[in-house]
């Protein structure tokens, strides 16, 4: 097990009816900017619940944060924060709204020239304006971590930021919100959380027995509840296990003391930036082929995964490992997720070299848990994914 430092101060309020506790958590006299996305919260009743819970506060609203939160849109919200003397941010949405809110939390206190530097500086963010979240779409884990990914259409970039100053003060997780989520987004959420776990688990054995089992616990639970969630998103018990699994998949816990891969995300982000493919689907496109390409270094963990998640107890390490990859792909297919790039775009024939060049231009020489995956390797993995 590797040395680690772990701290996660976010308070979680989990369960039905927790939205009404918003006013217990937000200091009196706060001036709140409520941020949300395309307006689905106005149809499913969450907007009304939040507004009612905040009836004793001064609340300014900023809607329209798109999936893959866009820098130019967020810059408008930043202007509002400054003009209205906002002192507290409340994200009501999924990972995109929460990530956008994290950027705003940091940008609101940023003293430098351009807030874009927060994404290019590669420095941990140590302070931000206090913010909280009401999660409406389980998937990214952003509600209980300190990371964010921001997109800039102008330059076709999608970059990450984070640091100890960017944990939500609290997050409200009411599994009832899942009732009104479209199938497509539910499938994305399951795929996203599943891949988050794999990025922290599918590396090489380091003797971190407990972390491995925690990771496997999340994978097993996602596999168990996925059919129930897709069949009936109003199944409260399935929804609550799904929601808590997504949070636990990326709140830092299972990453402690073990290597992380994250090359699947790095490649996936490029596919979203280039073609606008849903984030989760890019992970399903790249992930299995990443494991095929890096088979030798990952086969021991792949075999353990095949055994513990898919009950593949017969065969050699290599045989089990291969079945593990196939089962992963089958699982994504069972959710209605396509796993070939050509199923999403006709303009794929140069994608491998385009991504390779973008990695090289950004100075990225080695990704993955060994920091040895080169832009040329990424090119081949993406070509395997056409």
The minimum distance between CB 220 and a second copy, in angstroms, equals 6
CA distance 127 to 110: 9
Q: Residue 255 interacts with a second copy (CB under 8 A)?
A: no
Return the closest-CA partner of residue 134 out of 105, 177, 163.
177
Shortest reach from residue 237's CB to a second copy, in Å: 4
Inter-residue contact 246 to 217 (CB < 8 Å): no
When asked if residue 351 is in the footprint of a second copy (CB under 8 A), the reply is no
Find the length of the chain: 386
Q: Radius of gyration (Cα) for the chain, nearest Å? A: 20
Which residue matches tokens 């967020």?
A: 74
Among positions 82, 209, 227, 326, the unique one binding a second copy when judged by CB under 8 A = 209
84 alpha carbon, distance to own chain's centre: 30
Q: Does 176 bind a second copy (CB under 8 A)?
A: no
Q: What are phi and psi of 358, to 5 degrees?
A: -65, -40
Please pick, from the candidates 7, 28, 43, 111, the single residue that binds a second copy as defined by CB under 8 A.
Answer: 7
User: With binding defined as CB under 8 A, does residue 248 bind a second copy?
Assistant: yes
Backbone angles phi, psi at 156, to 5 degrees: 50, 45
Alpha helices (H) in 123-261, listed in sequence order: 183-201, 209-231, 236-249
Range 104-112, long-range pairs (CB < 8 A, 24+ positions): 104/33, 104/35, 104/74, 104/77, 104/78, 104/129, 104/131, 105/129, 105/130, 105/131, 105/165, 105/166, 106/161, 106/165, 106/166, 107/74, 107/78, 108/78, 108/81, 108/82
Residue with smaller CB distance to a second copy, 167 or 332: 167
Instruction: Give 1 or 234: the residue with its C-beta nearer to a second copy.
Output: 1
Q: Which of 208, 226, 266, 373 binds a second copy (CB under 8 A)?
A: 208
DSSP assignment of 32-89 equals: EEEE-SSSHHHHSSHHHHHHHHTTTSEEEEE--PPSS-BHHHHHHHHHHHHHTT--EE
Q: Which of residues 104-123 bind a second copy (CB under 8 A)?
A: none
192, 216, 278, 379: residue in contact with a second copy (rule CB under 8 A): 216
Q: Least distance from C-beta 216 to a second copy, angstroms?
A: 8
206 versus 374: smaller Cβ distance to a second copy: 206
Q: Taking CB under 8 A as the rule, does residue 14 contact a second copy?
A: yes
Per-residue binder mask for a second copy (CB under 8 A), 220-239, x = binder: xx--xx-----------x--
For the CB of residue 249, give the shortest distance to a second copy in the complex, in Å: 10
Closest CB to a second copy among 69 and 175? 175
Select from 23, 44, 117, 256 the one that contacts a second copy (CB under 8 A): 256
Stretch that binds a second copy, among 5-13, 97-105, 106-114, 285-293 (CB under 8 A): 5-13
Return the structure tokens found at 328: 């992963």
Cβ neighbours for 111, distance < 8 A, ≥ 6 positions apart? none
Taking CB under 8 A as the criterion, the residue among 213, 231, 357, 362 binding a second copy is 213
Q: Does 52 bind a second copy (CB under 8 A)?
A: no
Site for a second copy, rule CB under 8 A: 1-18, 170, 175, 207-211, 213-214, 216-218, 220-221, 224-225, 237, 240-241, 244-245, 248, 253, 256-257
């Amino acid at each position: 097990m590797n040395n680690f430092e772990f701290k996660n101060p976010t308070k979680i309020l989990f369960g039905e009816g927790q939205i009404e506790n918003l006013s217990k958590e937000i200091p009196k006299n706060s001036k709140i900017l409520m941020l949300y996305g395309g307006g689905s919260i106005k149809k499913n009743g969450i907007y009304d619940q939040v507004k009612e819970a905040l009836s004793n506060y001064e609340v300014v609203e900023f809607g329209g944060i798109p999936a893959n939160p866009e820098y130019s849109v967020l810059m408008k919200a930043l202007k509002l924060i400054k003009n209205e003397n906002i002192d507290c941010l409340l994200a009501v949405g999924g990972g995109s709204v929460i990530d956008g809110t994290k950027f705003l939390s940091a940008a609101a206190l940023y003293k430098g020239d351009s807030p874009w530097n927060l994404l290019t500086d590669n420095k941990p963010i140590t302070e931000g304006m206090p913010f909280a979240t009401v999660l409406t779409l389980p998937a990214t884990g952003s509600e209980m971590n300190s990371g964010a990914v921001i997109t800039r259409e102008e330059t076709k970039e999608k970059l990450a930021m984070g640091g100890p100053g960017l944990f939500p003060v609290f997050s409200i997780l009411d599994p009832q919100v899942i009732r009104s989520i479209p199938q497509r987004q539910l499938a994305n959420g399951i795929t996203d959380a599943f891949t988050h776990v794999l990025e922290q688990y599918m590396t090489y054995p380091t003797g971190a027995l407990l972390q491995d089992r925690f990771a496997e616990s999340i994978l097993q639970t996602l596999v168990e509840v996925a059919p129930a969630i897709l069949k009936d998103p109003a199944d409260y018990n399935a929804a609550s296990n799904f929601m808590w699994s997504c949070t636990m998949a990326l709140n830092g816990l299972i990453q402690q003391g073990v290597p992380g891969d994250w090359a699947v995300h790095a490649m996936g982000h490029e596919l979203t930036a280039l073609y606008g493919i849903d984030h989760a689907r890019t992970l399903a496109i790249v992930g299995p082929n990443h494991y095929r390409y890096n088979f030798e270094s990952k086969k021991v963990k792949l075999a353990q995964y095949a055994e513990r998640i898919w009950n593949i107890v017969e065969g050699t390490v290599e045989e089990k490992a291969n079945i593990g990859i196939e089962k992963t792909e089958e699982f994504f297919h069972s959710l209605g997720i396509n796993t070939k790039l050509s199923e999403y775009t006709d303009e794929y024939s140069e994608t491998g070299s385009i991504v390779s060049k973008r990695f090289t231009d950004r100075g990225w020489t080695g990704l993955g848990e060994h920091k040895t995956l080169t832009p040329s390797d990424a090119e081949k993995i993406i070509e395997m994914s056409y």
